[in-house]
Amino acid sequence: MPRIALVTYDPRPEPSKDADLPVLVAALREAGADAQAVFWDDGEVDWAGYDLAVIRSTWDYSWRAAEFVAWAERCGKATRLANPAEVVRWNTDKRYLGELAEAGVPVVPTRYLAPGGPADLPDDHEYVVKPTSGAGARYAARYTPGQRESAVRQLERMHAEGLTAMVQPYMRGIDAAGERALQFFGGRLLHASRKRAVLAPGTAFDAAKVAHPGLEPWTPTPAEQAVAERALAAVPDAPELLYARVDLVDGEDGQPRVMELELVEPNLFLFLHPGSLRPVVEAVLAAAGR
């Protein structure tokens, strides 16, 4: 009976936002595994007592990125960690988009503004500012020409907290075609979903946002799947990935571009794709048995 830790965050005093977690725990137990949901920052956990630790919904990590990466490295030395610690280290900093671009992967054009640097912001087109370490649209906002003063205030707040900012043109294709999320598990395309734009004009960067508005099942096009697979192939050193999610939007040319490559704790959206539960369980059990 393999012992499997499904690694999550401590939501207390609020209930967990991971609707898939209890379903996945129950399905793994039914399949014969000793599966448990475990908080990543619980100092009492003996990670060496598990055959496999699967990072599932550590959705508070972006507030504590350095601490989280250090935990992943310790956990990865104690047991098999999926995805591996080196992937976690690389993927928790969205400057990886620059590496994907250098590898020829079509990505959303991105510039980076680190603390101490100039506030090099555009004022001739609509754009987005967000941190290189973030999740759920935290500290993300959309600006139009003439709103530079507000964007500078956001930069100052982020830089005061030691965060590097990303500046990207607002991809207008998302208003028509949405953002598509292609989910891979066990090395194969599992399913895909589509959601509407998250960032509405005028919404403050520190306001709470709906992370997945209008979420619905999606059948990816061949072009979308090809771009997603190119992105995964460009991950340094070709690590073994148990799971991956590739978020795509359309560029000005109407072709898909990578918005984000989520290799740490992607929402699986199993509640939207119940038929995907079985292959996820099979892939997790196979990984635990290696």
* CA dihedral (258, 61, 239, 22) positive or negative: negative
pLDDT score for 136: 66
How far from each other are the two terminal CA atoms of the chain, in whole angstroms?
Answer: 13
What integer best gives the mean pLDDT of the chain?
93
CA angle 234, 55, 3 (to 5 degrees): 125
pLDDT > 90? residue 199: no
Q: Read off the pLDDT of residues 160-182 as tens digits, 9 standing for 90 and up.
A: 988 899 999 999 889 989 999 99
Going by the DSSP 8-state scheme, the letter that residue 56 receives in this structure is: E
pTM metric for this prediction: 0.93
| Rounded Cα distance, 290 and 170, in Å | 43
pLDDT score for 117: 84
Q: Read off the pLDDT of residues 19-40 as tens digits, 9 standing for 90 and up.
A: 999 999 999 999 999 999 999 9
Per cent of the chain over pLDDT 90 is 76
Going by pLDDT thresholds of 50, 70 and 90, the confidence category of residue 274 is very high
CB atoms within 10 A of CB 284: 27
The β-bridge partners of 249 are: 257
Q: CATH for 96-103+177-199+206-268?
A: 3.30.470.20
Structure tokens at 263: 């290799």
| Rounded Cα distance, 135 and 248, in Å | 16
Q: Read off the pLDDT of residues 38-51 as tens digits, 9 standing for 90 and up.
A: 999 999 999 999 99
Structure tokens at 204: 């403050």
User: % helix / strand / coil in the chain, to the nearest 5?
Assistant: 30, 25, 45
Domain segments of the chain: what residues? 3-91, 96-103+177-199+206-268, 111-169
Q: Read off the pLDDT of residues 64-91 as tens digits, 9 standing for 90 and up.
A: 899 999 999 999 999 999 999 999 999 9
Strands 165-169 and 188-195: unpaired
Going by pLDDT thresholds of 50, 70 and 90, the confidence category of residue 55 is very high
Going by pLDDT thresholds of 50, 70 and 90, the confidence category of residue 123 is confident
Q: Which CATH class is domain 3-91?
A: alpha beta
Distances 235 to 48, 86, 90, 209, 227 between C-alpha atoms, Å: 27, 11, 9, 29, 13
| Rounded Cα distance, 8 and 54, in Å | 9
pLDDT > 90? residue 159: yes
Q: Is 174 helix (H, G, I), strand (E, B) or coil?
A: helix
DSSP string for 66-102: HHHHHHHHHHHHHSEEES-HHHHHHHTSTTHHHHHHH
| 130 burial level (CB within 10 Å; 0-12, 13-18, 19+) | buried
| Strand ranges, E, within the chain | 3-8, 34-39, 52-57, 80-82, 111-113, 127-131, 141-143, 165-169, 179-185, 188-195, 216-217, 243-250, 256-262
Q: Is 66 helix (H, G, I), strand (E, B) or coil?
A: helix
Distance between alpha carbon 6 and the CA centroid of its chain, in Å? 17
